[in-house]
Amino acid sequence: TDRGPEQKMEQEMEQATPDAETKEFAEETGEVTAAQKDPCFTFPCMMGSCWCATILIIAGLITTFVIIGATSDDDGTSGGGSFAAGTLVLARGGEWRRIEEVQLGEELAIGGRVTGRMEFEAAWSELMLYTPTTRSGELLPATLGSSVVVCDGHAVWQHSGWVRVRDALSAVRLTDEQWLSLASTDNKSSKIRVFDLDVERHRLQVRASDGLGDTVDFADFSEVDRSHTLVKDFEAALLASLNANEMAPVVDL
């Protein structure tokens, strides 16, 4: 049984409840997209190898993360569904913010309040260039500046439904030259830092680092609320797997 990837993660988390002002923001500003209106807005389709939930118990608080489409190599590397540094995320006031600089409590367009920040390591094999179309529908070249560098398990809204980046029509793997520019090494076994966010309504509006192309709707880190049946069922399955395959920890006294 696959025990899942080992992850190097710096995470901050807080519980938050959306207020009426936040809920009405998208409608007031006209920033309602097709992704918000589809049936998956509160129940994104869990396609591909979507596996969920690492349970962390810190200072008496239990925080559950639903890791979208996480992949694992023999070395334990996993970037989950995260973005490379420099990826732009749309804030509530219309400002574009670098994803690694977004703080807890900030308000983002569509998604609302930021409730979690994550950092992972990702290898070349996990990363793809997702190239949005221009406003005229033209596909931009797949370059580091004009394409979103994102792990292949992330959920993205494309045309009329949610897909994993690896299955998107406009997603390609990084070339050797692009990896060298991104990682400052031609060693594909090396890793770079990638970042992700959790927001109240599980949606992020994203652009590539140079700000070109249309805004792209991605799911956030968790994709669904912690209370969702899928999360609870998977928590139970994880515990069953742990109990079936793990020896009790040995504590030296």
H, E, C per residue of 10-27: CCEECCCCCCHHHHHHHH
Would you give the distance in Å from CA 205 to the centre of its chain? Answer: 12
Q: What is the pLDDT of residue 250?
A: 64
Model confidence over 98-127: pLDDT tens digits?
A: 999 999 999 999 999 999 999 999 999 999
CA 38 – CA 171 distance, rounded (Å): 22
d(C-alpha 148, C-alpha 137), whole Å: 17
Rounded Cα distance, 247 and 137, in Å: 55
Q: Tell me the sheet residues that pair with 184.
A: none
Query: Can you tell me the mean pLDDT for 143-148?
Result: 87
Contact 204, 218 (CB under 8 A): yes
Is the Cβ–Cβ distance between 48 and 167 less than 8 Å?
A: yes
Under 8 Å CB-to-CB from 72, ≥6 apart: which residues?
A: 2, 4, 5, 78
Q: Which structure tokens are listed for 64? A: 């559950």
User: pLDDT tens, 185-198?
Assistant: 888 889 999 999 99
* Local structure of 195: helix, strand or coil: strand
Question: What average pLDDT does the chain have?
Answer: 74
- What pLDDT score does 81 carry? 74
For residue 120, what are the β-bridge partners? Answer: 194
**Smallest Cα–Cα separation from 114: which of 22, 232, 37?**
22
